[in-house]
Amino acid sequence: MATKQINMGVLALQGAFLEHINMLTGIPEVTSVITVRTAEELNSVDALIIPGGESTAMALIAERCNMLEPLRAFVRAKPTWGTCAGMIMLADEATGAKKGGQQLLGGLDICVNRNQFGTQKESFETMLHLPEILGEELFSAVFIRAPVISQIKSDKVKVVGRLERQIGETKAETIVAVRQEHLFATAFHPELTRDNRLHQFFVSMALTYKQ
């Protein structure tokens, strides 16, 4: 029986999209990985990663490129993974935004707090248990100006990762990874490690939703 294949997209309006492409390359089930900047490119993929970067800039560029509504429709229908800024974009609500707020894609029934850990100088790496995804094996998670999930707004949202220890004023057990049906979000940057297990997980997850 032939292995199911999938066409993956990485939103490439702003942020660390090349690192995600590198992580996806070589996963056997991935037929192709394309950078997504237009609605036409978005319509050609089965699943999407929204990378880390600057969520306000990402939203502004998406608005100028007439991509906000196509992206909103996509994330409500097809597998999407948001990392760091991508998690903010997927949230229904965000606090800590600049004056005037920012556009969000929504879809995830969560509220996030932007830049929870401060400036880039407060970046850190910590080991996490993600038992629903990786069993008992630890994952080394890189946090850069990262958000956290401050509120779960629906029982559809499944918590799959929490901080193992207190970081600054942010308490241990703070939520940093969730899944809601076909949506997946992490506050950290798996693409900045050499460990592609979360990318493999997302590919497997996306395949279960492929028509």
- Over residues 32-46, the pLDDT tens digits come to 999 999 999 999 999
Q: For the segment 106-138, what is each residue's pLDDT rounded down to a tens digit?
A: 999 999 998 888 766 668 899 999 999 999 999
pLDDT > 90 in the chain, percent: 70
Measured CA to CA, the distance from residue 17 to residue 127 in angstroms comes to 23
pLDDT surpassing 90 at residue 199:
yes
How confident is the model over 150-160, as a mean pLDDT? 95
Domains and CATH numbers, the chain: 6-209 (3.40.50.880)
55 annotated ligand-binding residue? yes
Q: What is residue 1's predicted lDDT score, i.e. its pLDDT?
A: 40
Mean pLDDT across the chain, nearest whole number? 90
Beta bridge partners of 47: 8
Q: For the segment 61-96, what is each residue's pLDDT rounded down to a tens digit?
A: 999 999 999 999 999 999 999 999 999 999 999 987
pLDDT surpassing 70 at residue 178:
yes
Q: How far is CA 64 from the centre of its chain?
A: 22
Whole-model pTM: value is 0.93
41 annotated ligand-binding residue? no
52 annotated ligand-binding residue? no
197 annotated ligand-binding residue? no
In 3D, which of 39, 32, 33 has the Cα closest to residue 10? 33
Residue 168 neighbours by CB distance under 10 Å: 10
Q: What is residue 149's predicted lDDT score, i.e. its pLDDT?
A: 94
Q: What is residue 211's predicted lDDT score, i.e. its pLDDT?
A: 62
pLDDT surpassing 60 at residue 100:
no
Residue 108 contacts residue 157 (beta carbons within 8 Å): yes
Measured CA to CA, the distance from residue 159 to residue 163 in angstroms comes to 12
Residue 162 contacts residue 149 (beta carbons within 8 Å): no
Q: What is residue 84's predicted lDDT score, i.e. its pLDDT?
A: 92
Catalytic residue numbers, as ranges: 84, 189, 191
How confident is the model over 149-153, as a mean pLDDT? 94
Measured CA to CA, the distance from residue 180 to residue 154 in angstroms comes to 9
Q: What is residue 182's predicted lDDT score, i.e. its pLDDT?
A: 96
